[in-house]
Amino acid sequence: MRKSLTRRRVLIASVVILLVAVVLVWRYLTPYKPEERAETALVTAGSVSVEQNDNWISFEPSTAHGTAVIMYPGALVKPEAYAPLARAIAQAGHPFYIARMPLNLAVIKGDAAEEILRVHPKQSFVLGGHSLGGVMASRFAAEHAGQLEGVFFLASYPDEKGSLKDTTLSVLSVLGTEDKVVDRDSYNKGRAYIPSNTVYVSIEGGNHAQFGSYGPQKGDGTPTITEEEQQERTVRALLDWMGNLRQSK
| pTM greater than the 0.75 cutoff | yes
Superfamily of domain 35-247: Alpha/Beta hydrolase fold, catalytic domain (3.40.50.1820)
pLDDT for res 99:
98
Average pLDDT over residues 110-132: 97
Give the CA count within 13 Å in the CB-facing half-sphere of 119: 12
Residue boundaries of the structural domains of the chain = 1-30, 35-247
Mean predicted lDDT score pLDDT of the chain: 91
Average pLDDT over residues 220-248: 92
Average pLDDT over residues 156-164: 98
pLDDT for res 22:
38
* Confidence band for 8, pLDDT divided at 50, 70 and 90: low
pLDDT for res 193:
98
